[in-house]
Amino acid sequence: MVWHKITWSRRVVQVLSFLFLFYGATLLNLKPQEIKWYSLDGKNQKMAELLYANPTWTQPFQTFLPGRSCRFAGTTGTFRGCLMYFLSDTLTWRPPWKVILPSLALLLGLMVLLARFWCGWLCPIGFLSEMLNEARRFTGLARIKFPAWWLATLKAAGYALTAALLFSAWAISWSFVAWSVKKPLYLATCQICPSKLITPLLTGFPVMINLQFPGASTALLVTLFVLLVMFTLLYFSSAVMKRSWCKLCPGGVILSFFNRGSFLTKEKDALRCTKCAICADACPMETLAVYEEKSRVIVDHTQCIQCYRCVDLCPEKKCLTVKFLGLPIFKS
């Protein structure tokens, strides 16, 4: 009850993952040109002016990860960008299958393998939001509890936002859409992502925010900027409200579809459960699913970031178990 193994292992993994994703190129001295994850087909004339046809080779690994391996980690970062970046860009340019297939396969594989384990253990942005919360805990200030309606709102907004971002990425590829709309909405996912501000803050990569651009709709640019500010505030509020941004994050929403049916499962022995609600108090996503489940064995649910804080704090031996492909890896 005193030594929380899982939480500590998680912190170690989070720190390592954060360092690798954001500073890996520098720390491990990886050179962009030298390592080729897969080579891109640069011969497609139709896409000649586009990113996919003209790889810039800025990162050691020219691919994407399910967590926020943000492209704004820039020259110190190890990966090309995050899942949302890949999806948006792919929908916009629709490069030939053979070009995107390696990345797509890798992403799908990693998502089926670990689902939102990426959020709980590997995503640097999620990790930093937890660190903000730790800082507040250290000061002894009280945390703010989300009322149920606000949680529901964030969840719904997350779905809506994800749909809107993916749709806009697709829509701007249509030829009849005006440039004034296309330009601002290009990579809208990054325009509104708190990581666009937070990651450069840490890695020193220069970012620009233009509220005016030749030929582009200022109204749209400003709207996106307002969203960016709102989401960044939401992100920083995770100091007082656990994982506030993650309750809405589009990347998390996509991963959440893989939570049920991934290789990782969380199981509950309902008879061992004393209904003590410790798991409900502990959950950073403030979900009640694990606590409230009293008959089914599998307690995976979409909102779960697989942090296993519930498993760690559950006072009943073997009540909660995490399994990877049926093999127990963590037990309460």
Partner 1 sequence: MHTDFEKRYARTPVRRPSEKILNGMRDASRDLARRLQQRPGRLPGLSVFETMFTTEQRLAELRASDRRVAGTYCYFVPEELLRAFDVTPVRLCSGFTETIAPSEEVLPRDICPLVKSSFGSAVVGGGYLDECDVIILPTSCDAKTKLGEYLADYKPVWLLNLPSTKDYAIVKPFWVQEIKRLKTKLENWTGRKLDRKKLKDAIGLFQKRSKVYRELYELRRAHPGVISHQDWLMAIQASFYADVPTWIAQAENLVQEIRKAVVRPVPDLKVKLLLTGAPVIWPNYKILNIIDELGAAVVADEMCSGHQRLWDYAEPDEWTTDGMLEALASRYLFPATCPCFTGTCDRVDKLLKMAEDFNVDGVIYHDLRLCQLFDMERDLVSRVLKERKMPMLTLHTDYGQEDVEQLKTRVEAFLEIIR
Positions in the binding site for partner 1 (CB under 8 A)? 1-2, 137, 140-143, 145, 148, 270-278, 280-282, 288, 291-292, 294, 309, 313, 315
**Structure tokens of 327?**
């093999």
Cα angle for residues 88, 34, 43 (degrees, 5° grid): 55
Residue 319 interacts with ligand SF4 (CB under 6 A): yes or no: yes
Task: Pick the closer one to ligand SF4 by CB: 29 or 304.
Answer: 304
Query: What's the min distance (Å) between Cβ of 269 and ligand SF4?
Result: 9
The CB-of-96 to ligand SF4 minimum distance in angstroms stands at 23
Q: How far apart are CA 16 and CA 157, in angstroms?
A: 31
Q: Which of residues 4-63 bind ligand SF4 (CB under 6 A)?
A: none
Cα gap 93→52, rounded to integer Å: 8
**Per-residue string for binding with ligand SF4, 57-96, x by CB under 6 A?**
----------xx-xxx--------xx-xx-----------
Return d(Cα 143, Cα 131) in angstroms, integer.
14
DSSP E strand stretches across the chain:
61-65, 79-82, 264-268, 320-324, 327-331
* Three-state DSSP class for residue 65: strand
Strands 61-65, 79-82: pairing is parallel
CB of 36 to ligand SF4, least distance (A): 21
* Alpha carbons 199 and 2: distance in angstroms, whole number: 34
Place of tokens 């590997």: 122
Q: How far apart are the first and last CA of the chain?
A: 10
Q: Which does 246 bind (CB under 5 to 8 A by kind): partner 1, ligand SF4, none?
A: ligand SF4
Select from 107, 43, 150 the least CA-distant residue to 258. Answer: 107
Q: Is 290 in the site for ligand SF4 (CB under 6 A)?
A: yes
In the list 249, 264, 265, 321, the residue contacting ligand SF4 (rule: CB under 6 A) is: 249
Site map 191..220 versus ligand SF4, x via CB under 6 A: --x-xx------------------------
Question: Does residue 314 bind ligand SF4 (CB under 6 A)?
Answer: yes
- Paired residues of 267 in beta bridges: 298, 321
Q: Please say which residue, 44 or 323, places its beta carbon nearer to ligand SF4.
A: 323
Residues near ligand SF4 (CB under 6 A) are: 67-68, 70-72, 81-82, 84-85, 119, 123, 125-126, 189-190, 193, 195-196, 245-246, 249, 251-252, 268, 273-279, 282-285, 287, 290-291, 304-310, 314-316, 319-320
